[in-house]
Amino acid sequence: MPNVSSTFFLAPYSSLGYPKVVCFSALQGKASSIDSSPSQSPIPRLFSRGCKLVGCGSAVPSLQISNDDLAKIVDTNDEWISVRTGIRNRRVLSGRDRLTTLAVDAAQKALDMAKVDPDDVDLILLCSSTPEDLFGSAPQIQKHLGCKRNPLSYDITAACSGFVLGLISAACHIRGGGFQNVLVVGADGLSRFVDWTDRGSCILFGDAAAAVLVQACSGDEDGLFGFDLHSDGDGQRHLNATIKEDETNDAAESNGSVFNFPPRRHSYSCIHMNGKEVFRFAVRTVPQSIEAALQKAGLPASSIDWLLLHQANQRIIDAVADRLEIPSERVISNLANYGNTSAASIPLALDEAVRSGKIKAGHTVAAAGFGAGLTWGSAILRWG
């Protein structure tokens, strides 16, 4: 039987000042494996309000670590790393850098490109799994940008999928909440959670921050055509940095209590990753997700000007491009210079491609993130 689904959303404010609620119903054909999640529901094309990406910026630490540098501390070499990953260098936070400072720098560059004053920012979303405050670092970005109207600022934790989730969240705030200017910042300092004695993982990660400004526009200028989002908690065993009791704890810290109170101090472990399983997960789910987003956008794969994936491994990027039949000259990759920068990787590559003139206003980009959780998602968007 055909499947009828209904989606409710808030339209822009009516003349009386109240948001209008619109019901969008879609009559779908035979159910399939990609029709079971609200995150995959077709995007209603009934908006009188859309959103578009109008500015970007990025910032990286000053310390560059090459493959040859890593070969001095673990049993590896430049050829072994570059052949398996495509990575040759990465930037790493040192005593001179703070992740929040990089995030503020990237956000300011995005505002400058968009010609938007910090006081006109309505919302700041920080996509990060490594904030410098347990309770989130987004409000510090608001503070240091000098946003005097105290716009809402909060963190989104979704590892390497974080930026895509932040982008979709920004669109929802604009389309349904009446926001005008939303900063989406991807920033991670995974080097702080890397086991630098493990050559299988320490070669992969770098630190960076990058941002985009998402701005409200009329419905006919809407620049987010379709999206697709998922998670699978069963896959957490393949990629995680779980909480653990500090090894320095001893019996004296328990104050002699037989009830284990007060609780012992805990911290996060180093990143654990099963590389083979993560590779299989990515090359299977990412093409499916992009194809689903294209289907909901009503666009063929041939309409994609650029493929922009989370920069995790060049083999993954190449495999996904092959599956989608996208030639290498239309694939964005800066992995060789920065490694895997988690939530920062997509906006970092986007910023470089825009500023170099590769991505131009009006180009259609298929972006996809994937990683810990496990989470994955894609968005079909237009730049400018």
What is the DSSP track for 270-302? PPEE-HHHHHHHHHHHHHHHHHHHHHHHT--GG
Domain residues for 227? 49-238+270-383
Residue 30, pLDDT score: 36
pLDDT of residue 249: 57
Instruction: Report pLDDT for 255.
Output: 52
In a domain, 335, yes or no: yes
- The verdict on whether 310 is a catalytic residue reads yes
- Burial of 210-242, coded b for 16+ CB within 10 Å and e otherwise, reads bbbbbbbbeeeebbbbbbbbbbeeebeebbbbe
Q: Say if strands 243-245 and 239-240 run parallel, antiparallel, or are unpaired.
A: unpaired
Q: Does 123 reside within a domain?
A: yes
Residue 33 inside a domain? The answer is no
Tokens read off for 173: 């705030």
pLDDT recorded at residue 247: 72
The answer to whether 48 and 20 have CB atoms below 8 angstroms apart is: no
Q: pTM for the whole thing?
A: 0.86
Q: What is the DSSP string of 327-365?
A: -GGGEE--HHHH-B-GGGHHHHHHHHHHHTTSS-TT-EE
Contact 121, 147 (CB under 8 A): yes
Q: What CA–CA distance (Å, rounded) separates 326 from 293?
A: 16
Find the catalytic residue in 51, 310, 313, 337: 310
Whether 169 is in a domain gets the answer yes
Give the whole-angstrom CA distance, residue 315 versus residue 325: 15
E strands present in 117-268: 123-127, 152-156, 181-189, 207-218, 224-231, 239-240, 243-245, 266-268
What is the rounded distance in angstroms from the CA atom of residue 23 to the CA atom of residue 353? Answer: 38
By the 8 A CB rule, do 57 and 108 touch?
yes
Q: Which of 56, 127, 147, 160 is catalytic?
A: 160
| Residue 108 token pair | 């300011």
Q: Report the 10 Å Cβ neighbour count for 329.
A: 6
Tell me, what CATH number does 189's domain have?
A: 3.40.47.10
Q: What is the model's pLDDT at position 13?
A: 40
| Residues 6 or more apart whose Cβ sits within 8 Å of residue 148 | 118, 119
Domain tally, the chain: 1
Cα 298 to Cα 111: distance, rounded to the nearest angstrom: 31
| Residue 142: inside a domain | yes
- For residue 73, the tally of other CB atoms under 10 A from its CB is 12
pLDDT of 48 reads 76
Task: Please say if 340 is a catalytic residue.
Answer: yes
Does 259 reside within a domain? no
Res 244: pLDDT: 84
Q: Is residue 243 part of a domain?
A: no
Return the bridge partners of 99, or none.
Answer: none
Q: Identify whether 260 is part of a domain.
A: no
Residues of the chain predicted below pLDDT 50: 1-39, 41-46
